[in-house]
Amino acid sequence: MGESAVFRIASLRKSFGPIQVLRGVDLELHAGEVTVLMGANGAGKSTLVKIVSGVYRLDGGSMTLAGQSFEPVTPAEAMRSGVVTVHQNINDGVVSALDVATNLTLDRLNGAGAKFFFSRRQVRREARAVAERMGLDIDLRADIVDLSLADRQMVSIARAMAHEPKVMILDEPTSSLSASEASRLFELIDRLRARGVAILYISHRMSDIRRVADRIVSLRDGAIAGLFEEKPLDYEGAVEAMLGRRIGRTSVAVKEGSRPVFAAEDLQIAPGARPFGLSLAAGEVVAVTGLVGVGKTALAETLFGIRQPLSGRMRLGGAEYRPKTPAEAIRSGVFLVAKDRADSGIVPEFNIYENMSLPFLKRLSHLGIMRRRAERRLARRQIEGLKIVCRNERDDMSMLSGGNQQKVMVARWLSYPADLLILDEPFQGVDIAARHDIAAKLRASAGERATLLFLTELDEALETADRILVMSEHTIIGEHRNADIDMDRLLAEVAGRDLAGAA
pLDDT at 340: 67
pLDDT higher than 90, residue 322: yes
pLDDT digits 0-9 by tens, 213-244: 999 999 998 999 999 999 999 988 888 888 77
Q: Confidence band (pLDDT; 50, 70, 90) for 27?
A: very high
pLDDT at 366: 59
Residue 263, beta-bridge partner list: 279, 315
pLDDT digits 0-9 by tens, 54-80: 999 999 999 999 999 999 999 889 988
pLDDT at 35: 97
pLDDT higher than 50, residue 5: yes
User: Which strand (E) or helix (H) includes residue 149?
Assistant: helix 149-161
pLDDT digits 0-9 by tens, 29-38: 999 999 999 9
Q: What percent of the chain has pLDDT over 70?
A: 87
pLDDT higher than 60, residue 292: yes
What pTM, to 2 d.p., does this model score? Answer: 0.65
Q: How far is CA 446 from the centre of its chain?
A: 24
Q: Confidence band (pLDDT; 50, 70, 90) for 107?
A: low
Distance CA 344, CA 424 (A): 12
Q: What angle do CA 292, 442, 286 make, to 5 degrees?
A: 50
Q: Which residues contact 455 (CB under 8 A, 6 or more apart)?
A: 287, 288, 289, 425, 427, 461, 464
What is the DSSP code string of 350-381?
Answer: SBHHHHHHGGGTTTTEETTEE-HHHHHHHHHH
pLDDT at 497: 65
pLDDT at 361: 60
Contact 356, 412 (CB under 8 A): yes
pLDDT higher than 80, residue 369: no
Distance CA 466, CA 446 (A): 11
Contact 501, 290 (CB under 8 A): no
pLDDT at 368: 59
Q: Confidence band (pLDDT; 50, 70, 90) for 2?
A: very low
Burial (CB count <10 Å: 0-12, 13-18, 19+), residue 253: exposed
pLDDT higher than 60, residue 247: no
Q: Is 287 helix (H, G, I), strand (E, B) or coil?
A: strand
Which of 245 and 198 is assigned the larger pLDDT? 198
- What are the phi and psi torsion angles at 99 (to 5°)? -85, 175
Determine how many CB atoms are found less than 10 A away from the CB of residue 368: 7
Which of 480 and 252 is assigned the larger pLDDT? 480
Contact 441, 262 (CB under 8 A): no
Beta strands in 348-481 (DSSP E): 365-366, 369-370, 420-424, 450-455, 467-472, 475-481
Distance CA 355, CA 172 (A): 24
pLDDT digits 0-9 by tens, 75-94: 889 988 999 998 776 666 67
Which of 184 and 393 is assigned the larger pLDDT? 393
Distance CA 242, CA 239 (A): 5
Instruction: Tell me the domains of the chain and their CATH numbers.
Output: 5-243 (3.40.50.300), 260-502 (3.40.50.300)
Strand pairing category for 450-455 and 260-268: unpaired
Distance CA 179, CA 182 (A): 5
For range 483-500, the mean pLDDT:
78
Mean pLDDT of the chain: 85
Which of 59 and 389 is assigned the larger pLDDT? 59
pLDDT digits 0-9 by tens, 264-281: 999 999 999 999 999 999
Contact 110, 69 (CB under 8 A): no
Taken in order 468, 288, 414, 385, is the CA torsion positive or negative?
positive
Q: What angle do CA 233, 196, 4 make, to 5 degrees?
A: 70
pLDDT at 114: 43
Which of 117 and 10 is assigned the larger pLDDT? 10
Residue 20, beta-bridge partner list: 15
